[in-house]
Structure 1
C-alpha cells in the first residue's frame, strides 16, 4: 500500500513528539510524593551519612589495648553521644548505635569472650565502625537533575536530610472519544462499539506519571467537538477518531491547520494521526478511531510527548524481529511481536486481539528482512 509523500516519516514524527515539547515547570515536592517524577534540579545532602560514628557490628566498643573492663551498654539512640571512653574500657554496643568518643574499634561477639566485667579478644584489621560522612558528606549530590525519582532514590535523599525536591509537574490529559457509534459501558447494540481508548490512554499516561483528568464521549458534531476542546484545561488533549477525511471527521476543521506539527504519519496502521501545538500551550494528539491503529498512534506520538513534558526522554530500544510482514514501500509497518522477537499474525487495524498477546510493537522499515533488528514500542 502506497502512502502519500505529504505525511511525516514515522521516525521523524516520533522525534518531533519526543524533542519538541519542553518539560513542564518545576514545583517543590515532598520527597515521598516525588516518587515517579523527574528531578528538575540537583539535590544535595543536608547532613552526612552516617551522621555520627556508628557501630557496624554487635559486640563491644573498646578503647586502648585489651583486656578491657566493661563499663556499660549502648543501644541505638542518642545515649552514646553522652559517653566517653578511656583506655582499657569496653562498652557493649548494638549495630547502629552511636560509638562513644574515645572508642577505637568494635570487637565482635564472635571474636570476643566475656567473663563478668572482663572482656578479652583480638581486634581484626577492620575496626567495624562506620565513620561520620563515610558514605555521604554534607553538600554531596544525592539526586541528579533529570533523574526519575525511585523509592530508593527518595529514601536515600531522606537519609541525607533532604525533605523536598524540585520536580517537573506531571502533565494532565483530557480524552475526547468521538463517534456516534461509541458506547462507554454495557454491551454494544447494533452498529455500536465499546470505548476501548479510555483504558489505553490512561495506561500510556501513567507511564509518564501523567494524570487522565477527564475522559468524555463526544458525538459526531463539529460544534460539540469545538466546545469540548475549548473547555479542556489539561496540558494534553487526546482526540480519538475524527482525524481522517470522512464526513464525520471534524478535528482538522476544528483545529487550525497552522497549529498542526504532524498531520499524517507514514506508517501502517495508524496513518491518520496528528500532533498540534495550540497557541495557549496545550497539545492536541489525534488518534485514529480503529483500535489497533489508535494504539500505534498513542505509542508514536502520545507516549513520547508525555515523557517529554514530564522531563523524561523516551527511548527506542532495538531487538531482532523474526517472521513475515507485509512491508510498506514508502513508510513503516508496525506489527505486534513477543519477547522472543516473533511477529504475532495481525488481525487488522480494527482489532486489538494480536496486540493483546504481544509484548511490544515492532517498527519495520521497507528494507527490513527476517531476523533484522527493529525499533520496538512497549505495549501498555
Structure 2
C-alpha cells in the first residue's frame, strides 16, 4: 500500500516547460513548484503545469493557444488515443527470412503448411510395443528420430525407440524406458494403455489450420512455430523507423546541472522505449531552439531551421518525434514549423495530466509526427497516449482491449476535475495496482519503479476500484 503520509519531495524546475528535460509545462517565467510527490496529494489541477512565472492559469494558456494555433480545446484522452491508431497507416508488407523476422509484425495470418506433428511420433524414450506384454525384442536395432518408414511391428514384439522417432506401423503404445526391463530377449513391464506416449499425427494442428492472426509480433516462440509449420520466409510489416529531435537550448547532455541549465532526461530513455514498443530508432538528434524557418527557404546548409530538420527526419523515418517546444511560448517552435510545412494536426493538445501540450500531426508526405511535452513524465504520458498507438497502427497491431487490462487500486487516488490522470503504479499481485507517488510532470522517480500506468477518468471524487492500465514498454 502506498503511504499517504509520504513526505513531499521537492523537484527541480527548469526555465521552460515546453522543451525537453525536467521542466514545468508551459512555463514562461521563473521556476515553478512541481506537482506533489504522492498522487493523493494532487488536488484539482497539476500546479506544475500552470504558467506561474507569468501569473497565468491553465485556462489562460488555452486562450493564448487558440489565438496562436487556432485550437479551441484539448482533445479528450480516449479520442486522442484512437485517433493516433488511425493516423498510423500500415506500412507496406515485405517477405523476409526467419532469421530477419524477429521484432517485426505478421502482415498475413500464419497458417500451417503441414500437419503438426507430420506423422505419429514417440513422446518418450522407451520401446514401441504391439499388443500386451511381455514382448519379444525385434531384431535390427532401435528406431531413431529422423529415420523414415520404420519396419512394421508384429503383435507381441517390441523395439527400442527414441523421443521424436516415427512410430512403426502396428505399434499400440510406447512403454517408457523407466517402466520396462529386458531379460535375455524379452521385455517386461506394465501394459501401457493404447496410444500411451504416442503423439498422433496432427495432434497440434492440421494442414491449413490458422495458427496466428495478422498483427502478431514476431517473437522467438513465433519463429519456432513458423519453422515447425514449414515456413522459410514470413510476410511481415517491418519495425517502424523513428527519428527523434530533442529541442532546447537549456539542456545539458552530460555532467551536473549548472549555470541555469538542466540535464536532458528524455533523450536517454526515448530510444530504448521505442525499441520496447517494436520500433527502430534511426536517430536521436540533439538540437537547440532552432528558428521555425519557412517551407520554401533556399540556400544555406540543411538543418539550420526546425522546418529543415523536420524534413530531414521525415525523409528517413516512418514516424518523427519532437521533444519540447509544443507550447505557445516565445521560443516554442513546433507549431510555427508545422504551419510553415502545411502539416495537419488531428490532435493539438490532450485533456490529460501530465502531458496536455502533446500533439499529433501529419506531415505533407504522410509521415506522422508526435510532439512530446518537455517535462519527462509528461513526455512518458505522450508516449503511452499517442506514440504507442501510432506504432501499433503502422505495424497493423490491434489496440489492447481496455476491458481486459484492468486492476483494482490498493487505495483511493485523487482525480483531475476535467482531465484524465495517468498515475504510475506497481502491480504487487495479480489484479491489484498500487500508486507509487512522485507523479508530478517533471518527475521520473515514480515511473522508474512502476510496472504500469493507471488511467483515471476525470471526476470530483477520488478514484477507487478497478481502473484501466497501460503497460510500460520493456526493451
> Distance between the aligned counterparts of 1:349 and 1:65, measured in 2?
74
Equivalent position to 2:334, from 247, 251, 258: 251
- Compute the displacement of 1:347 (Å): 6.1
> Distance between the aligned counterparts of 1:346 and 1:197, measured in 2?
17
Counterpart residue number, 1:308 = 393
- Compute the displacement of 1:171 (Å): 0.7
Distance 1:68 1:290, change over 3 A: closer
- Compute the displacement of 1:332 (Å): 2.4
Tell me if the contact between 1:80 and 1:100 (Cα under 8 Å) persists in the aligned partners: no
- Compute the displacement of 1:152 (Å): 2.2
> Distance between the aligned counterparts of 2:422 and 2:112, measured in 1?
46
Equivalent position to 2:466, from 366, 373, 376: 373
Distance 1:351 1:74, change over 3 A: same
Residue 231 of structure 2 aligns to a residue whose secondary structure is coil
Equivalent position to 2:219, from 147, 150, 164: 150
Distance 1:112 1:255, change over 3 A: same
Counterpart residue number, 2:312 = 231
Residue 140 of structure 2 aligns to a residue whose secondary structure is strand
Distance 1:354 1:86, change over 3 A: closer
- Compute the displacement of 1:240 (Å): 0.8
Counterpart residue number, 1:179 = 248
Distance 1:67 1:152, change over 3 A: same
Which deviates further from its counterpart, 279-288 or 42-51? 42-51
Which deviates further from its counterpart, 174-183 or 362-371? 362-371
Q: Deviations over 1:278-324 (max 9, x none)?
A: 22121111011122222222221112211221222333433333344
- Compute the displacement of 1:180 (Å): 0.8
- Compute the displacement of 1:113 (Å): 4.6
Which deviates further from its counterpart, 27-36 or 296-305? 27-36
Tell me if the contact between 1:143 and 1:157 (Cα under 8 Å) persists in the aligned partners: no
Distance 1:79 1:318, change over 3 A: closer
> Distance between the aligned counterparts of 2:132 and 2:184, measured in 1?
18
Unaligned runs of 5+ in 1: none
Alignment of structure 1 residues 336-355 onto 2, 5 Å:
336-339=424-427, 341-346=433-438, 348-355=440-447
Counterpart residue number, 2:187 = 119
Tell me if the contact between 1:44 and 1:162 (Cα under 8 Å) persists in the aligned partners: no
Please give the TM-score of this superposition, normalised by the length of structure 1.
Answer: 0.89
Distance 1:98 1:173, change over 3 A: same
Unaligned runs of 5+ in 2: 1-44, 46-57, 63-71, 294-304
Tell me if the contact between 1:323 and 1:342 (Cα under 8 Å) persists in the aligned partners: no
Distance 1:49 1:337, change over 3 A: closer
Q: Aligned-residue CA RMSD in angstroms?
A: 2.6
Which structure is richer in relative contact order (CA contacts within 8 A, separation 6 or more)?
2
Counterpart residue number, 2:14 = none
Distance 1:266 1:112, change over 3 A: closer
Tell me if the contact between 2:150 and 2:166 (Cα under 8 Å) persists in the aligned partners: no
Residue 141 of structure 2 aligns to a residue whose secondary structure is strand
Tell me if the contact between 2:172 and 2:194 (Cα under 8 Å) persists in the aligned partners: no
Alignment of structure 1 residues 291-302 onto 2, 5 Å:
291-302=376-387
Alignment of structure 1 residues 192-271 onto 2, 5 Å:
192-222=261-291, 223=293, 224-232=305-313, 233-256=316-339, 259-271=344-356
Equivalent position to 1:362, from 445, 448, 454: 454
> Distance between the aligned counterparts of 1:324 and 1:50, measured in 2?
52
Counterpart residue number, 2:75 = 8
- Compute the displacement of 1:351 (Å): 2.6
> Distance between the aligned counterparts of 2:472 and 2:172, measured in 1?
57
The answer as to 2:105 corresponding to 1:38 is yes
Counterpart residue number, 2:416 = 328
Distance 1:159 1:6, change over 3 A: same
Distance 1:269 1:144, change over 3 A: closer
- Compute the displacement of 1:98 (Å): 2.2
Tell me if the contact between 1:263 and 1:272 (Cα under 8 Å) persists in the aligned partners: yes
Residue 365 of structure 2 aligns to a residue whose secondary structure is coil
Please give the TM-score of this superposition, normalised by the length of structure 2.
Answer: 0.72
